[in-house]
Structure 1
Amino acid sequence: MKMKLAIAGTGYVGLVTGVCLAEVGHTVICYDIQEEKISLLSEGKSPIYEPGVEDIIKKNMEESRLFFTTDPGEAYKEADCIFIAVGTPESEDGSANMQFVEEAAMTIASHIKPDSTVVIKSTVPVGVNERIEDLIFEHSGHRISVVSNPEFLREGSAIHDSFNGDRIVIGANDQLAGDLVEKIYQPFNIPVVRTDVRSAEMIKYASNAFLATKISFINEVANLCEATGANVADVAKGMGMDKRIGEQFLRAGIGFGGSCFPKDTKALQKLAGDYHYDFKILSAVIDVNSRQKLKLFEKAREFYPEMTGKKAAILGLSFKPNTDDIREAPSIELLNELLLAGAEVEVYDPIAMKNVETIYGNKINYASSAEACLQDKDVAFIVTEWEEIKSIPLESYRTKMTVPNIVDGRNCYSLEEAAASGINYLSIGRQMIKSSQHC
């Protein structure tokens, strides 16, 4: 059953949702208030970096299933279902800011058909879907149904996740509205979980908080491994083979970042506080992650107790590979600490350097390649495990750097490789490798 769908918001979630719904045959019109963004999209160009998204945009525009507009009347007047997919940024108190969701709802109320259904794709705290339903009624006079349909997309893999997800969660207090949304997703052939609205809202936050907990847990194990002489890679492998635990999210590193985990863990913690519940595990997860982001700088002090005047290379700036997102990225914490300590910093990232340059300008240097970034440096930090960075031969560190001191925040190399390469190598949750030539 093909439908006419509207998407409010062409950010990361809105754009990926819109193009994938068009790809399965629905007619989709994406609305945004930013004229520059809509103009770019109307030319078939994506304002976000996400592998594969531009190809799907162009294909579905050519096949007249995908449209973009800044006119809310054009977007909403004929829509069978409207998806709200605007941002919910973190407020000063840690709660999710509902300003853009509420503004989208009021605009929808001015143009909605009486028989339309609204779906909230944005990540919102428990109770917000019901509040939006009331808000639309107040501004339109129409009592329409609002369905919760949280997203579970990974940046850098969002197109794949859309068509190969583990589940589609549909939270509806109105059975018919829930049925409608389920029909929209039928072509994806992905298992559907039907719940009430509040449970669906909680599923999103609880899922992200649990994954964040696994990351912080293995990072704490890594810190203990360093103290005891164990190897966290071996420990994680042994743990992950237990089907009750699973291997995913057990890679020790320098903490989680991005637009979801940091924001959502804080929002869930704030929600718990609003209900006078002390969510002790979540508080520990947030605290561990904050400390873990400082690990690379602290480790570098094993090479240089004083960093003033030292030349440092940072390889990788985005919070993970295959995205240009630097929100809550460990690289930012590291940059701040190095500059505060008086180090000279040069950075490289295949995609995210422009975003970093808007923050730091000429305070740091920008390399043309990963290997160029290493030239004449005293210490190199591996922060993001881009394939290009992981594939740098260890020989390049030894020959290009003034002193081959490597601090690897992603454990890209084996200890055996490091020991054979003549470098000084510090990683996460594993013992230090010292070269006899460069001690």
Structure 2
Amino acid sequence: MKIAIAGTGYVGLSNAILLSQHHKVTAVDVIQEKVDMVNRKESPIVDDYIEDYLAHKDLDLTATMDGDSAYREADLIVIAAPTNYDTETNHFDTSAVEAILSQIQRVGSKAIVVIKSTIPIGYTQEISAVYPDLSILFAPEFLREGKALYDNLYPSRIIVGIPKGKEALRPEAEKFAALEQEGAVRENIPVLITGSSEAESIKLFSNTFLAIRVAYFNEIDTYAEEKGLKTADIIKGMGYDPRIGDFYNNPSFGYGGYCLPKDTRQLLSNFEGIPETMIRAVVDSNETRKSFIADRIAARNPKKAGIYRLIMKSGSDNFRSSAIQGVIERLKNKDIPLLIYEPSYKGDSFMGIPVTKDLQQLKDECDIILTNREEKDLEDVKEKVYTRDLFTRD
């Protein structure tokens, strides 16, 4: 098949690599530097599997900025454009998805279109009516930053949603699920073909459940810190119950990254007019956690507090919506002098705070250093380190 992928972020690039093992794939992006890197078989994002597959696997993959040609010639188009949460409208900004759909229609493409961008519940149904000449499906992704290709090779499940009234697209939905299975390493992958609004719900409710889990264990840690208890013992004891399990339970400064902050807020918006308390509570809990962390630091009266990395988690180069930023904002409001160490940041300041690429400067100038996760770089100044990483894992 000829497949076009719109976007080369975590979702787009991991799907492009997965599908290009057996099919001709053209990845479309609007940034020339990213296009050039993919064509040089270099990854524009930090992901071990993506880097390895680009460098060493026989992939039929090219990147281009010429979306018109890619979409016109494609049998299948996968949309993986960003949909950031707009705090003014309390809604995902789906303009990038709509721009691509308009482009696909303009060039007269007859391809099946699969949206993989995260979207509000009901969006695929609504947009199908706007573009009645396009055959549009929705297939949610369940990827971790830094593990995007791995999670495509070993997926927990494959879900494809069909809008109501478009049931004739079921064979195309099954075909897309088969393509994803074909590129995967895992066998016997659970597959669910459902309505598009149900598929959108699965995505947002799944991520919100994960956010609830993060927030719950963080609140246990907050309680234990206030009461002088051993958080690790409490969590370990709970984890022996198989219904709870010893996983995804490591305290942090809060949930962050591409998905959980925006997906929880979008789901809360989708609940407008519907009784709920838990969804709002998890959003509020994450803010409360960041305030608690900032208060704990302020109580130590540091002369200067250091921030080790802005990134969301180890093995990632993304620091969009990272929890540490919320802590930084609160510490700044408390007039605590700050210094940020972030070697991947190009500027000299972030949020008006000095940024250094010199780790030794951070260690020398700061009497307390915040890190969301334990790092070998800080072992020689362990007495200065403040973290809530109890199990040295994400």
When normalised by structure 1's length, the TM-score is 0.81
SS in 1 for 2:85: coil
**Is residue 290 of structure 1 aligned with residue 281 of structure 2?**
no
| Stretches of structure 2 lacking an aligned partner (at least 5 in a row) | none
Distance 1:262 1:326, change over 3 A: same
Q: Which residue of 1 aligns with 2:114?
A: 119
Checking the alignment, whether the CA contact within 8 Å between 2:298 and 2:331 is kept in structure 1 is no
Which position in structure 2 is the counterpart of 1:94?
A: 90
Give the unaligned 5+ runs of structure 1. Answer: 399-403, 414-439
**Count of residues in correspondence between the two structures:** 382
1:87 to 1:107, Cα distance in 2 relative to 1, 3 A: same
The yes-or-no answer on 1:159 pairing with 2:139 is no
Residue 359 of structure 1 is matched in structure 2 by: 350
Q: How far apart, in 2, do the equivalents of 1:358 and 1:87 lie? A: 26
What is the deviation of 1:104? 0.8
Call closer, same or farther: CA 1:357–1:90 in 2, change over 3 Å.
Answer: farther
- Shifted more, 4-13 versus 118-127: the winner is 4-13
Secondary structure of the corresponding residue to residue 325 of structure 1? coil
Aligned residue for 1:346, secondary structure, equals strand
Task: Tell me the equivalent position of 2:362.
Answer: 373
Distance in 2 (alpha carbons) for counterparts of 1:365 and 1:86: 30
State how far apart, in whole Å, the 1-side matches of 2:207 and 2:59 are. Answer: 36
Q: Match of 2:330, as an amino acid?
A: E
List aligned pairs for 1:195-344, cutoff 5 A: 195-273=194-272, 276-304=273-301, 310-344=303-337
For 1:259 and 1:161, how far apart are their aligned partners in 2? 16
Q: Tell me if the contact between 2:5 and 2:28 (Cα under 8 Å) persists in the aligned partners.
A: yes
**In the alignment, is the contact (CA less than 8 A) between 2:224 and 2:231 conserved in 1?**
yes
Offset of residue 397 of structure 1:
2.2
Displacement after TM superposition at 1:22 (Å):
1.2
Q: Is the 8 A contact 1:145 1:177 kept in 2?
A: no
Residues 255 and 330, structure 1, Cα contact 8 Å, conserved in 2: yes
1:96: Cα distance to partner?
0.8
Once the 2 structures are TM-superposed, how far is the Cα of residue 204 of structure 1 from its aligned partner? 0.3
Identity of aligned residues (%): 31
- Tell me the distance in 2 between the aligned counterparts of 1:166 and 1:153: 10
- RMSD value, Cα: 2.3
Matched position secondary structure for 2:19: helix
Query: Contact conserved, 1:269 with 1:283, CA < 8 A, in 2?
Result: yes
Which of 280-289 and 84-93 deviates more?
84-93
Structure label with greater radius of gyration:
1
Q: 2:49, 2:150 within 8 Å by CA — same for their partners in 1?
A: no
C-alpha distance in 1, partners of 2:226/2:276? 29
Q: d(CA) in 2 for partners of 1:59 and 1:376?
A: 43
Say whether residues 1:388 and 2:376 are aligned partners.
yes
Measure how far apart 1:108 and its partner are. Answer: 0.9
Partner of 2:45: 48
Shift of 1:302: 2.6
Q: Name the CA shift for 1:102/1:165 in 2 (closer, same or farther; >3 Å).
A: same
> In the alignment, which of 153, 169, 176 is matched to residue 171 of structure 2?
176
Alpha-carbon displacement from aligned partner over 1:140-175 (angstroms, at most 9, x marks no partner) = xx3x43211100000011121111121111122422
Structure 2: which amino acid aligns with 1:167?
Answer: R
**Judging changes above 3 Å, is the alpha-carbon distance between structure 1 residues 314 and 265 closer, same or farther for their aligned structure 2 residues?**
same
Is the alpha carbon distance of 1:74 and 1:210 closer, same or farther for their aligned partners in structure 2, counting shifts above 3 Å? Answer: same
* SS in structure 1 of the partner of residue 376 of structure 2: helix
Match of 1:74 among 47, 64, 69: 69
Matched residue, 1:145: 135
Moved over 4 A (4+): none
